Structure formats: structure tokens, C-alpha cells
Structure 1
Amino acid sequence: MSESLPTVKNSTARTRRVSQRVVLTALAAALLAGAATPAVAAPSGTADSSAVPKAAAGQDRPELQKAIQDFVDAGFAGMQMRVNDERGEWVGSAGVRKLGASAKPPTNGRFWSGSTTKAFVATVVLQLVAEGEIGLDAPVAGYLPKLGLDRRITVRMLLQHTSGVFNYSGEFYLDGTFVPGIPSVGKEWVDNRFHAYRPQELVRLALSKPAKFEPGTNWSYANTNYTLAQLLIEKVTGRSLAEEMKRRILRPLKLRDTELPGNRTNIRGPHAHGYYRYEDAGQWKVVDVTRQNTSLLPAAGDMISTTQDLHTFFSALNGGRLIPARLLAEMRKPHPKSGGLFGRYGLGVYVQDTGPDCVGTLLNHNGSVGGYGSLMYSTPDGKKTLTASITSGDAAIDPAQAFPKALNKLVKDVFCGGKAAS
């Protein structure tokens, strides 16, 4: 690999810079500075007895422990990680479960997983496509006629972020301006982090704003697309997204620690605490945001999961166990105008080229909510995966520097044997 993870050339360098800025805002900035999504609470009496299971016999891999320690050394509070590959399974953690305490983050801990939710939602939509209930290139307005959507917007455009709809959690434009949406950063988010939102009100807000571009003519990451996908799933099936996810993914794969909590504001079971650093009246403050309401990002980032469940899901998806091969191929077709730190965007997944000196194609979808970040990577056959959770603490960190550097090293150590990819 080069100094940073490989990116894909867009039509202009300016577009690529904006795309990278949006991705960093959606993950690193949210993790470090509390942008983009709410976090959830853990009951105060949660036991931490299972905090750090040791790696399986023969899995002493100091390079992996060093790679996650690098995140802590960069200023993050803690990290837990799980790697599954030809050498078996490795699990480990670094940093602290809670500021002021010495216990490490639990390696079986639950966490707010943010936008990894999108890969689950895209999978449900594609299952409905496979069943003939939804047309991948059919107008969304045909299923949701009351919203007043542009009839050129198709189901595919929602999943690949090419609809052009305004991002209700705030929108970046090519000239560098930012148009705010629902409070998602700073003191305003902190003060509103327990507010309950309904998908319909978020969609109405987005549709009240001018479209960012004509449907299908460009790419821009927007949470609105996946909230619309939730409404689509619920309209077609007559059941809630949470019910459909349980029926189609969670129960078949026995993902017992993954859920869409709705308006519940706590994380049940073992977990690490996440913190948010923000400015208030010229003073920097830090608040524990483990408890929060993630209904701000319905179907776009409101899930709770574990590294084990993310591994099981992503391995099954890429191993061809959840959707037919033809639709898995569609999922992996990246849009040529997409790009950024994680690669180019397909349908609910990023497609990253790590080069001939690494593993070639790498699939991923990472995520964040206030105080929490998640990583989910897999090779195309699902046999080699990396899943992790990162929590922020009270340190001032530059997200454009610390996060990409640590992530680049981690991906190299796991998938490239520590060698730089071309």
C-alpha cells in the first residue's frame, strides 16, 4: 500500500477531495468529534468479567496487538478487534473500557456500529429483489407514491447513493460549503442526543431541500437513501425493518447480539464507553455518550452489534449465503464517480483495490456514531475478515491524520502481511 489506503480516481480531483472529506466526516469526525449519529447506553451494572478472552492457541500475533495499540496511542480511548483468516481466529483489545478505569474493552462487547447497518439493509433489499418483490431498477416512487419522490430515482440509486437526495444529517457541496440538517454535531447534538426521530420526518426534511444533483448523474453519500430503503422494505413486506432483519439475517445466522434498538438509549450486555469532545462557549468539554438515541439514522446507522456478529454476517454475505451470485455481483459493482478512504461504493458495500501485492479486491463498510466507530472488512470469498470497534475518549485528535494512518497500517498488517500495496 501507499502511505494512505488506495483511493479511486473520480472525474475530478476536486470531487475526490470532497468525497474523502465526507467519508472522514461520516466516520472519523463522528468518532472523534461526535458527528453524524447518536450513541447508546449501557446499564451501569454491566459485568466486565469476559473482558479480554485470550487468542486461540497458536494465535500469538504481536503485530495485530501493536496495530490496535496504535489507535490508542493516537488518542482513542479503546479498541477491540477480531481477525479470522487461514491461521484461525484472533481476538484482542487495547486501551480502556472506561475513562479513569484500567480494564480493557471487552472483546465480546456490544457497540453502536453506525453505517455498517447499511450493508445489512442493502442485503435485505437485494433479497426482496431476488424474490421478485422489488425491482432493482424500478422507480422508488412506484412503491412509495405519497412521498413525492422524483420518478427517476430507482432502488439501485438508493443503495449506491446516486439518487441526489439531500442528506438530512447535513450536506457538503463541491464549493466547500456545508448545509446543516438535523443536529448531528457539536453542542447541539449533545443537547439533543436523546431525541426520538421518525423516519418519515427525516425524509420529509430531506425532500424539502433541493436535490444535490439529477438522479443517477453523480455520487454522494447520504443517509437519506437508506432511510428511504427502510420505508421501502416496510411498505413491500408489511413488517418493520427490525422484524425483516431478524427473519432474514439475524435468526438464520444466529446473530444474537445484533439489533435495531429503536428509541432505546442503552447498550445491553458488556460494552465499552464512548466519549464526545465538543466546544461550548469557547471551552472544550467531554461527555460520556454511551447512552444516546440512534433514531437519528434509521437504517443508516442505528444498529448495535459485536465483532463476532459482524464477522459472521460479512463472511456469510461474501461467501454467497445470503443473496444469489448475480446480485452479489451487482452489489460489488462500484459507481465510477464514488471514491474515498475506503474505496468505491457499490450497493451497500465499498469495493477497495489493495493491489497485486496484497489481496486485490477488499470489501468493507465501516461506520460511526457519536463516540463509537466500527470496522468491517472481508475478502471476496468471505474467508478472511477483520471486524472491530473503536471508542473515542477525551483526547484532541486530528481525524484527517490520526485515523487514516492507523487504519492504513491495520489493513496492511491484516490483509497484506504488513507489506505496502501498490
Structure 2
Amino acid sequence: MRACAAPRIRVCAAWARGPRIPSLELVSGSRPASSPEQEEPLHTTVFRRHARRVTLAAVVVGAVLAGTACGPSEAAPQSSDATVREALEDLVRNGFPGAQVVISGPDGERVVTAGVGDIAGGAPIPDHALVRIGSNTKTFVATVVLQLVAEGTLDLDAPVERYLPGVIGGNGNDGNRITVRQLLQHTSGLPDYLGSGAPTADNQVVQLNPHLESVRWQQYAPEQLVGIAMTMPPQFEPGAKSVYTNTNYVLLGMLIERVTGQPYAAEIDRRIIERLGLRDTYVPADGDTGIRDPHPVGYQENDGKRVDFTALDTSWAGAAGAMVSTGADVNRFFTALLAGELLPAAQLAEMQRTVPFDRMANAGYGLGLMRQSLACGQETWGHGGSIPGFGTRNGVRADGTAVTLIVNQLPTTEEQADMEQHAYETAVCAA
């Protein structure tokens, strides 16, 4: 008799009626000889600001999934997975090529998938798909920084100038007035080197827009990225409020290298990846524009055309968002972090001291870690990331259940962003 405890369930969308993919022209993702520069909204931070609060359905769909029936121990996971699948299918019906949820908990791992990972071939997103995880990188970086604090190598409340003399300066930016804590918490006031790529009325500096082909294939040093930011004035006085800014974490990557003598990627690998056995998690090497197999295609809409954006040089993201991982590895990392496997209690407590999060209601931002209070009453700790081609939303519940949502195209409207958040909340609340 087949054992039914701790099942690993793979659930794919039923395609008898076919997925609804918007009629956009599909463009190859090969390196172009030239490409017109376009001004587009940037999605490289964690989430868009939500125009409205998404209300979750109170009734759990009780559909039975296809497959061999099992005893009562499997009924609850199947019912919750049907609920998650419905939310993912809604994403596909509204313009996302594919979506996947990975749920990890005491009863094992479950994977729920809808849509396609490759429009041309029709293949689904692989169960153990490697994807770019964007700003989840920040939590890895923050963990290394707090480990260095615990070891006495860094002081959270020391000025950044102590560790990176002369790096922050110009146009009112002052490394003597900004602390390591403020970099971690996005309360530094520093300008962001990432933006629309176009000057504004208040700022004639052209920020980097990674959605442009000219940025996509370019290799950048961290000093170049910070240099772009330093050509702009501060957004506000240090400590006055919190505004999510990628420059903060590029600086933290530089700081790690300055005090350890090793690149931030090497410290993440030694202190976290090897320690937890995250076999499918890595920081791409210089010049590595691909993703290790298995992986879905990452898409982006450019001027009404769906572009294969899987390959790109993520040096523009660096310590703010360059990493690659799987849903299972992301869940393992955040679960271990919150269980105290990576930080002493004092540093974990510092990490979880939050300020209001400027990009999402009902959320707080700590030191590289975000708390969300969901409509169903659940609270999660995690982060999330958006990078051309891929979006992830993730968190760990109080009972240790971890959930990661993956989409292989970023939302292009507020409505799509709300749907993505709804799918994540549905998965967390139903898991």
C-alpha cells in the first residue's frame, strides 16, 4: 500500500481549455546588434505600491485533484493546493505566462504550477526551477553583515565612512552621517542608482534602467553604481524615514568585501549556502549571463512585445539583487534564518525590528527582512524580489510553513501586481 504521509504533490493547471496568453509578439532573447532605448517603469525593487488592499476569499475550494486517492492525511494538502492552483490560473488568465508556488513545511514540500515556463515549447515551469530571485539577495547580504556584527567585526551604529572612507560623498551625501543600520533598513536617505533611465524635473542624472538592452548586457562595477547615485542629492535626511533604495545594498556588498577581504558572493557562499546545503543557490560569476538548468524562460513586455529576457548580466543588481535560487532553497534559507540557525538571538532580534515599509501597506521592514500582516490573519517574515524576467514573493508563517511564489514575467500594471500579491496571500493562507 502506498504511504500517504508527508506527500510531495505536483499540481499543474488543467489545460483542456488552454491558457490565455495575451497576443503579444514573441521576440528572441539573443543578444541584439542594436535596440532602441525605451523608457519603462522599473520593477527591480521588492513590490509595487498597491493601489488597493486585496481581499482574500474566505471559502476554501474543496476540489479533489487528479491522481491516486489517498487517506485523510492527504486530503487537506490536496484541498489547499486546489485553492492555490485556482489563484495561479487566474494569474495566467490575466497575462502571466506561468506561475509556481513552492510550499515547504513539517509535512514535506508541495509544488503547484500553472501556465507555461516556455511559451514556444509549451513546457510548464520545472518543479525545481532555478530563477533569478532579485531582491531576496538583500536578505542574504544582511545576514552576512549581521554575522560580522556578532563576530565584532562591524558595528551596526558606526558611520559607513569608518569602513568605506570617501565612497559616500558629493551633492550633499555624507558617509559620516549614515550608519550601517540605516543602509540595512533603507533609512539612509541615499538616492537610488536605478530608475527609469530618464531625467526628471528635479534631477538631470540618467539612472540605470535594467529593462533597456544597453544595460542588460553591460558589466558594471559596484563603484560605478554608487558613483551614479552620488551624482544625485539625498532623498531625505538620514534616519528621517524609510525609502527602499538599491544603493544601500550595493554599499553593503562593498563593505563586506572591505572588512573580510573577500567578495560578498564568497562570504554568502561560505557562511550561508554551504552551511545550509543550498545546492541550487548562487551568485552569478562575472560575465555569467545565463541560468543553470532546469529553468523557465523569463519574459518581459517591451513596447507591446513579449521579449525573452532570461539571459542578462546582473552586475547592475550586484549585492542588491543578482542571486539565482529555487523556491525550495529560498524557503529553506528563510526558515533556517528565522529558526536561529544563521544568527545569534541578539542579531536576529535586531533584524526583526521594523519600520513602516514605503512600498506596501500592512508591512514593516527590518534589517533586510520584511514582515507582512495578511488579510487572513497570518503574519509572514520574508522578502521578495523583482528583476526583469522573474518575480518572487515569499515568507515564513509562525508555524514554520514557508511559501514562495514565482512568476516568469513581472507585472506591468497595478492590477497585475495586486493579482500577484493575492496569489501569494492565497498560498500562505491555504498552505
- TM-score tier after normalising by the smaller chain length: 0.7 to 0.9
Partner of 2:301: 277
SS where residue 152 of structure 1 aligns?
coil
Q: Tell me if the contact between 1:363 and 1:377 (Cα under 8 Å) persists in the aligned partners.
A: yes
Alignment of 1:185-196 (within 5 A): 186=211, 189-196=212-219
Higher alpha-carbon deviation: 340-349 or 303-312? 340-349
Partner of 2:277: 254
Partner of 1:36: none
SS where residue 313 of structure 1 aligns?
helix
Q: Tell me if the contact between 1:65 and 1:92 (Cα under 8 Å) persists in the aligned partners.
A: yes
Partner of 2:36: none
Tell me the number of residue pairs that the alignment of Structure 1 and Structure 2 aligns: 360
SS where residue 416 of structure 1 aligns?
helix
Partner of 2:421: 407
Larger Rg: 2
Shift of 1:371: 1.5
Shift of 1:150: 2.7
Partner of 1:372: 390
Change (3 A) 1:337 1:303: closer
Cα deviation, 1:7-28, whole Å, max 9, x if unaligned, reads: xxxxxxxxxxxxxxx9967356
Partner of 1:352: 372
Change (3 A) 1:349 1:181: farther
Q: Tell me if the contact between 1:374 and 1:389 (Cα under 8 Å) persists in the aligned partners.
A: yes
Shift of 1:88: 3.6
Change (3 A) 1:354 1:81: closer
Counterpart CA distance in 1 for 2:382 and 2:151 is 25
Shift of 1:155: 0.4
Q: Tell me if the contact between 1:96 and 1:105 (Cα under 8 Å) persists in the aligned partners.
A: yes
2:276 maps to 1:238: no
Change (3 A) 1:28 1:336: closer
Partner of 2:62: none
2:156 maps to 1:133: no
Change (3 A) 1:340 1:181: farther
Partner of 2:289: 265
Say which of 260, 267, 289 aligns to 2:309: 289
Counterpart CA distance in 2 for 1:162 and 1:285 is 37
Q: Percent identity?
A: 38
Shift of 1:398: 4.7
Unaligned 5+ residue runs, structure 1? Answer: 1-21, 31-53
Shift of 1:353: 2.2
Counterpart CA distance in 2 for 1:190 and 1:134 is 38
Code of the residue aligned with 1:318 in structure 2: it is: L
Partner of 1:384: 401
Counterpart CA distance in 1 for 2:42 and 2:118 is 27
2:194 maps to 1:169: yes
Code of the residue aligned with 2:251 in structure 1: it is: L
Counterpart CA distance in 2 for 1:91 and 1:351 is 24
Cα deviation, 1:56-77, whole Å, max 9, x if unaligned, reads: 9824221122222222122111
2:352 maps to 1:332: yes
Change (3 A) 1:345 1:102: same
Shift of 1:342: 6.8
Code of the residue aligned with 1:258 in structure 2: it is: T
Code of the residue aligned with 2:345 in structure 1: it is: A
Counterpart CA distance in 1 for 2:302 and 2:165 is 41
Q: Tell me if the contact between 2:83 and 2:430 (Cα under 8 Å) persists in the aligned partners.
A: no
Partner of 1:43: none
Code of the residue aligned with 2:320 in structure 1: it is: A
Partner of 2:225: 202
Partner of 1:63: 83
Code of the residue aligned with 1:332 in structure 2: it is: Q
CA RMSD after TM alignment: 2.9
Shift of 1:146: 2.7
Partner of 2:98: 78
Cα deviation, 1:128-168, whole Å, max 9, x if unaligned, reads: 00000000111110011131443110000000001111100
Shift of 1:348: 0.4
Say which of 212, 222, 228 aligns to 2:251: 228
Change (3 A) 1:89 1:29: same
Higher relative contact order (CA 8 A, sep 6+): 1
Cα deviation, 1:203-258, whole Å, max 9, x if unaligned, reads: 11111211111111121111000000001000000001111011100000001111
Shift of 1:82: 0.8
Code of the residue aligned with 1:223 in structure 2: it is: N
Q: Tell me if the contact between 2:393 and 2:406 (Cα under 8 Å) persists in the aligned partners.
A: yes
Say which of 129, 137, 141 aligns to 1:109: 129
Code of the residue aligned with 1:345 in structure 2: it is: Y
SS where residue 362 of structure 1 aligns?
strand
Say which of 310, 314, 330 aligns to 1:310: 330
SS where residue 93 of structure 1 aligns?
strand
SS where residue 328 of structure 1 aligns?
helix
Counterpart CA distance in 2 for 1:181 and 1:81 is 37
Cα deviation, 1:318-358, whole Å, max 9, x if unaligned, reads: 11111111211111111146451571211101112236x52
Counterpart CA distance in 2 for 1:342 and 1:168 is 27
Change (3 A) 1:290 1:74: same
SS where residue 401 of structure 1 aligns?
helix
SS where residue 206 of structure 1 aligns?
helix
Shift of 1:176: 10
Code of the residue aligned with 2:267 in structure 1: it is: E
Counterpart CA distance in 2 for 1:219 and 1:124 is 22
Q: Tell me if the contact between 1:139 and 1:155 (Cα under 8 Å) persists in the aligned partners.
A: yes
Cα deviation, 1:277-307, whole Å, max 9, x if unaligned, reads: 122xxxx333211110111111101001111
Counterpart CA distance in 2 for 1:409 and 1:292 is 27
Q: Tell me if the contact between 2:135 and 2:321 (Cα under 8 Å) persists in the aligned partners.
A: yes
Q: Tell me if the contact between 1:55 and 1:91 (Cα under 8 Å) persists in the aligned partners.
A: no
